[in-house]
């Protein structure tokens, strides 16, 4: 099965641009201010895979000078529409080299790697992100946990896709976002923690911390499985100095 980027689509961009932090998405962002404050010094940030600019605006509210980058022209157009003064850039075949080197204190990537189909592509992108990262900088990589594709949630449904249960690393899975008008299934790719850790190690990134946010009683959402199963995994990464020394960097 071939994975296509479902966000390079005008109708999808229109629906996604209206989405802020409802339901299950709330858990993706709820702890980020505290996580970022604990691990990041400095104020220069990249929002890698910014989509319609939701997470870029989030970083700006936290006090960061943030650049939002994405491959989807439709999404970048929506980001600029909602934040005319923001810095949003389309990245294409030339990669991320134009953004500088060793320049950013934080690189935030929310859900982006759910849509990167091949391990080799992940390696290439994390290598480029590592070059952008300042020596003391941090990458915060927020991805969907594999479990999100096999359960029901406040904001997602997978009951129509039982084949997700047999999916292995690199397989395409489908999920429906119930908080948007566009109810066509989103196609993502499964990538478990062990596989992410191997990619990180290969490109010279070290896992500093892993967070798995759960819903709490009393929060203003009708949680389904969120209080028992974490729909998201948040990795905090830094340069692996030992790996750099071994390579002679």
> pLDDT category, 26, cuts 50, 70, 90?
very high
Round to whole Å and give the CA distance between 23 and 226. Answer: 10
Round to whole Å and give the CA distance between 62 and 64. Answer: 6
Domain boundaries, the chain: 10-247
Quote the tokens at residue 227. Answer: 């209080």
Tally of residues, the chain:
249
> pLDDT category, 248, cuts 50, 70, 90?
low
Is the pTM higher than 0.95? no
Give the residue-averaged pLDDT of 195-212.
Answer: 98
Q: Which residue, 69, 51, 68, 58, is CA-closest to 7?
A: 51
The residue that leads in pLDDT, 36 or 182, is 36
Q: What percent of the chain has a predicted confidence (pLDDT) above 70?
A: 88
Looking at domain 10-247, which of 3.30.565.10, 3.40.50.150, 1.10.510.10, 2.60.40.10 is its CATH number? 3.40.50.150
Give the residue-averaged pLDDT of 207-226.
Answer: 97
Quote the tokens at residue 162. Answer: 């039982």
Under the phi-then-psi rule, with left for phi > 0, alpha for psi from -120 to 50, and beta for the rest, what region is 23? left
Does position 1 have pLDDT exceeding 90, yes or no? no
> pLDDT category, 91, cuts 50, 70, 90?
confident
Q: What's the sign of the alpha-carbon dihedral 194, 70, 179, 209?
A: positive
Residues 86, 80 contacting (CB under 8 angstroms): yes
DSSP 63-106: T-EEEEEES-HHHHHHHHHH-TTSEEEE--TTTTGGG-SS-EEE
Round to whole Å and give the CA distance between 81 and 87. Answer: 12
The conformation of residue 163, written as its DSSP 8-state character, comes to G
Residues 106, 44 contacting (CB under 8 angstroms): yes
């Amino acid at each position: 099965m071939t994975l296509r980027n479902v966000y390079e689509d005008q109708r999808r961009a229109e629906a996604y641009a209206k989405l802020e932090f409802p339901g299950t998405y709330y858990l993706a962002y709820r702890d980020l201010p505290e996580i970022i404050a604990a691990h990041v010094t400095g104020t220069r940030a990249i929002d890698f895979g910014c989509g319609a600019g939701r997470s870029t605006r989030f970083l700006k509210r936290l006090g960061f000078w943030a650049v939002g980058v994405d491959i989807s022209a439709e999404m970048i157009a929506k980001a600029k529409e909602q934040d005319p003064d923001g810095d949003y850039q389309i990245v294409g075949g030339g990669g991320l080299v134009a953004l500088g080197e060793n320049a950013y204190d934080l690189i935030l990537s929310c859900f982006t790697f759910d849509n990167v189909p091949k391990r080799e592509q992940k390696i290439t992108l994390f290598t480029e992100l590592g070059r952008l990262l300042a020596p003391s900088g941090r990458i915060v990589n927020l991805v969907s946990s594999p479990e999100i594709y096999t359960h029901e949630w406040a904001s997602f449904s997978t009951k129509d896709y039982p084949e997700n249960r047999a999916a292995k690393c690199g397989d395409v899975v489908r999920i429906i976002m119930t908080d948007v008008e566009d109810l066509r299934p989103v196609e993502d790719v499964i990538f478990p923690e062990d596989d992410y850790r191997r990619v990180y190690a290969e490109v010279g990134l070290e896992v500093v911390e892993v967070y798995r946010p759960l819903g709490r009683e009393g929060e203003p959402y009708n949680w389904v499985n969120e209080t028992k199963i974490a729909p998201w995994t948040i990795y905090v990464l830094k340069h692996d100095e030992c790996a750099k020394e071994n390579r002679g960097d």
